[in-house]
Amino acid sequence: MTTDDKPRALPPTLQTAVHDLAQAGSRDAIVSFEVNRTRVISYSDLAAEVARQARRLAHAGVGPGDPVILCGPGGADWILTCLAILHCGACVVPVDATLGADSFRHVLRDSGARVALIAPSSALRLRRPLDQQGVRALPLAQDETAEESRDATFARVGPEDRAVLFYTSGTTGPPKGVPLTHGNLIYQLRVLAGTGIVSPDDRVLLPLPMHHVYPLVLGVLTPLAGGIAVVLPAGFTGPQVVAALQAGRPTVMIGVPRLFDALTNAVVERMRQRGPVVQALFRGALGLSRLVRRRFGWRIGRTLFASLHRRLGPSLRVVVSGGAALRSETAWTMEALGWKVASGYGLTETSPMLTIHPPGAMRFETVGGVAPETELRIEGAAEGNAEGEVLARGPGVFAGYHALPQKTAEAFTADGWFRTGDLGRIDETGWLRLTGRRSTVIVTEGGKNLQPEEIEEAYQAHPAIEEIAVLQHDGRLAGLIVPARAARAEDGGEAAIREVVREVARALPSYQRIAEYRLTAEPIPRTRLGKPRRQLIVQAYARAGEAGREERGRASGLVPIETLSADDRALLEHDTAQTVLRMLGERFADRRIGPDSDLQLDLGIDSIGWLDLSLDIADQAGVTLSDATIGEIRTVRDLLVRVAEGGDAGADARLPLEEPERVLGEDGLRWLEPRGTGQRIAGRVLAAANRLVFRRLFGLSVRGVEALPANGPFVLVPNHASYLDPFAIAAALDAARLERMYWAGWSRLIVAGPLRRAFARIAGILPVDDGRATAASIAFGSAALQRGHGLAWFPEGIRSADGQLQPFKAGIGVLLAHRNHIPVVPVVLRGTVEAWPRSRRLPRFRRLSVEFLAPCTPTELAAEGVGEAEARRIVNALRTRIAAAIRAQDAG
């Protein structure tokens, strides 16, 4: 294979390598794209900050060999902390920030860690296990005021000492600890430096969580040991990765097969959407590039697809895939598009690389040649078997599992070879071809040995199947299928999937056809690097069959994080995404909430609900969303992606309150212009007619109107059960007050069509809930009050189905908290639900009453209400006052 026989010299330990970071001087070490800023750290600054953090850890009692938990979203602070732990000679214990509480508790107990460096959101979620195990939690990003041990000295560690303790995914039991020594990892760095994949002038993009051995070794330690810049995207969503590709100028990207599958699929889909002519030209160019690349080795893709390279990443030349097997088709597509593809094979226990497929080799049917100083053999090959279990030994292979002697004995042969669990064969050139996992082989009743991946690939090629996992159930070949969103639209995908299964089966040998299947809306369980978790798949298949659709639909609460897809779990690495998901779980505790939950259909979030939710997101997560962005959000995943991306920098949550007219613009301000003479006359005629109808036909009685402010702005806050409510309030007001009233919260029923819009202009109705215009909703109300008008706002958002008071939305609370001197008048409407309930098309005549309660100020309401935020206290107090008045009337 093409590796350098004289790999570059490296220090004997990672501790020494960290101490030597300053030698690269002013070169960029880390380029981190974060929300609203780009953070560039030079090697000299990196060395200084790592040393400073190491002194802080020493002050916290961290010493050589101590296991230290590192838990949080990957980023510059994660890398700094990891290097600081190594600087101390301690052992890094990287933990998935989305790990479940039970698994996290096991890691704490098993590792023996006494200190955890942990991100705020993870610390909040995992506080109980930390407290139970007596582990001291320190912030991942320590501020400048943290205490240091000024006279700290750090004992030198040796190659045989533990550097990192990884925990495997634990599909058949609790996670197993995999300790890797400094010698294991320095060997990997030496081998990777000799491959020629990267050079000192390269910049490496790492769009992966760092708590796995593959991204940590290849994406962090190898570049930094070689004086190479590491580029970190703001997150793992497509736009964030593309932004880093463009602005960070990386030449090498470290990824996993699912990332590259998504990239190539997105390119192909984009061409398809541009029409049949463009699609045909693209396919022709791609085929030509692939043919020329395979036959002559010429790379013409960069020229043929120059516009694609300019748009995605003009500097990118090499993509490196690992963590799971890269599909040959994906690799060839990447090569045809103009990138060089490198890959490798290994496990956590082999730290990780056993084989390396260098860029330009293009032997994608293999996983590469054996790494220098490493030996591979196939069990059974001596007896003439071409295929068998892959066994390995060499400097990168670990010595055994942490505190698990029985598991260690099972993992090694009697003569010291490590059992990888993978099946394969070594070809005549010495390159390794994998054929599957020993543990996943399915032996059919007819004696056929099947690997599920091959069957899964055939079924998943159909666009109606988003994901599928193949397993054996009661001796039959079965499939757990996640239908694509389009297929789920009508009947959950049952009819569409039934036809797809029949269609795909016709193209497969009989022994590869699934005999039964079950549908699920939850993602197929995978590791963070995309490998299927087979034991969890068996459990998921059992759950899918335990109950019918109706019973499963009654499940409530957040879908467990550990069952989410690798992509969704990576999304939840972000504190803001995790905060917003937790907020949704608290708001909708009676619903089942997962990434695919539809915010409107499943959670019932309408335009007024969006007003409330977006303000809470700005308050609790510090992320603002523009009206345009909100209009594009449909699912929980869409929302989490947008908040993880930082929302809309230009969307100032305070602007609608402080400068409402700037938010509304000319079009919005037309609704607030003084009414013309003709409109005023028409308004008086309509008001008189409305008053006559309600007084005579509905027997309207009015109480408390004399307490209303005679001048200046004020706010009416009524309960809401019927279309009649605003008309009843209008009939209860005198002409002078009615003329300066504006109405909010029900315009959807009024402003559609020219006649209704004309009526809305005459009546003073503000289109606060047109579409999802949350900023405009607040701005309209704020501008009306700013101009000295009265404002009627229905805080329940929608009509009550049975007349019972519903929860109040926070929108009016936000408005009142900002204008805390304006009088607020709670209003109690009675009889409107009996006169015109939601179940009737037309009203019937019943006696109605409107009671204006005593005016109060927002300050008084905030003092008597409950809730953390001032806006929530105000609306809760308003609801309490209205509810008390209703109860008093009912009791009388």
Are 724 and 856 found together in one domain? Answer: yes
pLDDT digit string, tens, across residues 681-702 = 999 999 999 999 999 999 999 9
What would the pLDDT profile of 608-664 be if each residue is shown by its tens digit?
567 667 777 877 777 878 767 887 888 898 899 888 887 775 556 667 788 888 878
User: DSSP letter string over 134-159?
Assistant: TPEEEESS--TTS---TT-------T
Q: Residue 8: is its pLDDT beyond 50?
A: no
pLDDT confidence of residue 438: 86
- In this predicted model, which residue has the larger pLDDT, 668 or 307? 307
Residue 712 CB coordination number (10 Å): 13
Percentage with pLDDT > 90 across the chain? 53
Mean pLDDT within 872-879: 92
pLDDT of 248 above 70: yes
In tens, the pLDDT along 535-563 reads 788 888 888 876 444 444 446 788 887 77
Residue 680 pLDDT exceeds 50: yes
Write down the pLDDT at residue 7.
40
Q: Is there a domain that residue 282 lies in?
A: no
- If asked whether residues 668 and 591 sit together in one domain, one would say no
Q: Could you say which of 500, 518, 551 is where a domain stops?
A: 551
Report the pLDDT value the prediction gives residue 547, as an integer from 0 to 100. 46
Single out the residue of 813, 814, 820, 882 nearest to residue 857, CA to CA: 820
- Six token digits for residue 248: 């960070």
Q: Are 741 and 760 in contact (CB under 8 A)?
A: no
What is the distance between the alpha carbons of residues 684 and 738, in angstroms, rounded to a whole number?
9
203 located within any domain: no
Please tell me whether residues 547 and 592 are part of one structural domain.
no
Structure token digits, residue 192: 């990777």
Q: Across 244-253, 638-647, 881-890, which has the greatest mean pLDDT?
A: 244-253
Same domain, 520 and 408: no
Instruction: Tell me, yes or no, if the pTM score tops 0.85.
Output: no
Q: Are residues 741 and 871 in the same domain?
A: yes
Supply the CATH number for residue 759's domain.
3.40.1130.10
Sheet with 318-321: list strands edge to edge: 37-42, 28-34, 229-232, 203-205, 252-255, 318-321, 340-346, 353-357, 369-370
618 and 699 assigned to the same domain? no
Query: Is 747's pLDDT higher than 70?
Result: no
Residue 334 in any domain: the answer is no
The reply to whether 409 and 526 lie within a common domain is no
In a domain, 728, yes or no: yes
User: 592 with 682, same domain?
Assistant: no
Number of helical (H) and strand (E) elements in the chain, helices listed first: 37, 32
Any long-range contacts for 706-710 (C-beta under 8 Å, 24+ apart)? 707/825, 707/852, 707/854, 707/855, 708/733, 708/737, 708/825, 708/852, 708/855, 709/823, 709/855
- Specify the number of domains making up the chain: 4
In a domain, 401, yes or no: yes
What pLDDT score was predicted for residue 772?
A: 37
Same domain, 673 and 744: yes
Mean pLDDT for all residues in the chain:
87
Same domain, 750 and 841: yes
What tens digit of pLDDT does each residue of 585-610 get? 888 887 888 888 878 767 877 555 67
CATH number of domain containing 391: 2.30.38.10
Nearest by Cα to 345 from 380, 376, 318:
376
Query: Is 44 part of any domain?
Result: no
State yes or no: pLDDT of 749 exceeds 70: no
Q: What domain range is 754 assigned to? A: 662-891
The C-alpha atoms of residue 492 and residue 482 are separated, in whole angstroms, by 10
Q: Are residues 637 and 740 in the same domain?
A: no
Handedness of CA 409, 413, 414, 417 (dihedral sign): negative
491 touches 532 (CB < 8 A): no
CATH of the domain at 499: 3.30.300.30
Instruction: Please report whether residue 617 resides in a domain.
Output: yes
What is the length of the chain?
892
Residues 613 and 700 in one domain: no
Q: The CATH number of the domain where 632 resides is what?
A: 1.10.1200.10
Q: Quick check: is 194 in a domain? A: no
pLDDT tens digit sequence for 84-143: 999 999 999 999 888 888 889 999 999 999 999 998 878 888 899 999 999 999 998 877
